[in-house]
Amino acid sequence: QVQLVDSGGGLVQPGGSLRLSCAASGLLFNVYTMNWYRQAPGKQRELVASITSDGITNYADSVKDRFTISRDNAKNTAYLQMNSLKPEDTAVYYCNGYYSPLYDYWGQGTQVAVSS
pLDDT of residue 8: 97
pLDDT tens column, 23-74 = 999 999 999 999 999 999 999 999 999 999 999 999 999 999 999 999 999 9
Contact 48, 111 (CB under 8 A): no
Question: What angle is formed at CA 112 by the lines to CA 106 and CA 116, rounded to 5 degrees?
Answer: 175
- Give the confidence band of 85 by pLDDT, cuts at 50, 70, 90: very high
pLDDT of residue 76: 98
Q: What integer is the mean pLDDT of 14-28?
A: 97
pLDDT of residue 57: 98
Contact 85, 48 (CB under 8 A): no
